[in-house]
Amino acid sequence: MKAAVFHTPGSPLSIEDVSIGKPGPHEVLIRTRAVGVCHSDLHLVDGLLPHPAPVILGHEAAGVVEAVGELVRTVRPGDHVVTCLSVYCGHCEHCLTGELSLCISPDTRRSKEEEPRLAYRHKPMPQFANLSAFAEQMLVHEHACVAIRRDMPLDRAALIGCGVTTGTGAVFHTAKVAPGETVAVIGCGGIGLSAINGAALAGAGRIIAIDMLDSKLDLARTFGATDVISAKDTDVVKAVRDLTRGGVHHAFECIGLKSTAEQAFTMLRRGGTATVIGMVKPGVKLDIDPYQLLQGKRLQGSVMGSNRFPVDMPRLVDFYMTGKLRLDEMISRRLKLEQINEAFDELRLGELARSVIVFED
């Protein structure tokens, strides 16, 4: 199969032939139809996060099932599916207590004694995020995908596989935003826009979008923001406090910077919660005034929106099909696999919400 292969940080990905195995007992072979280009992929391409290479990146995908292993019960050939990197085993303590996104059981991966799912130039190839989606096919554990209704456009369904689930899930599950509460979202990329949309679905009373780009703030209004703040020349913490007369109930950091994570915590009202969704560089230390903890304020992280994706994703699809979840406006460009490096160049500029790699039928 053709795949975009990452070799070394700072170098463009190359389109090459990669071998893919046949499904094991609990595995699913998927014909990839669409993959979103996410900042998490860019972090590896630019060397901010280490990963063994060569490797196929990509983790925000949708496709059609081609074949399944003999013990697979969740999907069948012909099913339209969305994949998810938070693959779960179903029997560890996290899974049994409803925390599927925290599962790290090795049971969902092939052992070292087995043939690898992917091979490059006749050598085993690591699989990125249990998926490796920048390729014509994916071979995954059955608990890394979920079937969805067939009338859902797959280029939009792909976005649900990471960014949309992460943003809405942080609102619904991690923070548990209640109707009438006030929300601030820092960063209006794909995840931030999804958090805004999720806050609107949750019934938040006031939703404040914060970004450096006016174009993204305009887009944020489309997704449900009631107020916008340009971070170019504004003290955003003061602006949020002035708008809400003391701070917000919930702040969501969707960029992954030290400064914005600290701002999210500082703009809270007493008893408020700041949820860091963005991928902060490992080793970075946050400066938090401990006195604010005595005001009942909380700072927390969110792993893939604390999702239960086999339940969440079909519901998000239904939200889209009924006009409640906005995905059309999130796609800035549709590209071919051969244009993958263009997508990363555009992502570095930070001006687009999402580019999607689309495979021909």
CA 31 – CA 136 distance, rounded (Å): 6
Nearest alpha carbon to residue 74 among 145, 23, 162: 145
Say if CB 248 and CB 265 are below 8 A apart: no
Q: Which of 26, 39, 43, 80 is catalytic?
A: 43
H/E element, 355:
strand 354-358
80 is catalytic: no
Nearest alpha carbon to residue 227 among 199, 206, 201, 245: 206
Axis-axis angle for helices 214-223, 190-202 (nearest 10) = 30
Q: What is the CA radius of gyration of the chain?
A: 20
CA 5 – CA 189 distance, rounded (Å): 25
Q: Which of 38, 84, 95, 145 is catalytic?
A: 38
Q: Which of 39, 59, 80, 250 is catalytic?
A: 59
254 is catalytic: no
CA 27 – CA 161 distance, rounded (Å): 18
β-strand partners of 330? none
β-strand partners of 67? 29
Q: What is the DSSP string of 215-271?
A: HHHHHHHHHT-SEEEE-SSS-HHHHHHHHHTS-EEEEEE-S--HHHHHHHHHTEEEE
Q: Which of 162, 194, 302, 306 is catalytic?
A: 162
Say if CB 231 and CB 202 are below 8 A apart: no
59 is catalytic: yes
40 is catalytic: yes
The CA–CA distances, whole Å, from 40 to 89, 153, 233, 237 equal: 23, 24, 28, 27
Q: Which of 40, 132, 306, 355 is catalytic?
A: 40
Say if CB 355 and CB 36 are below 8 A apart: yes
Q: What is the DSSP string of 171-218?
A: IIIIS-PPTT-EEEEE--SHHHHHHHHHHHHHT-SEEEEEES-HHHHH
38 is catalytic: yes
Residue numbers annotated as active site: 38, 40, 43, 59, 162
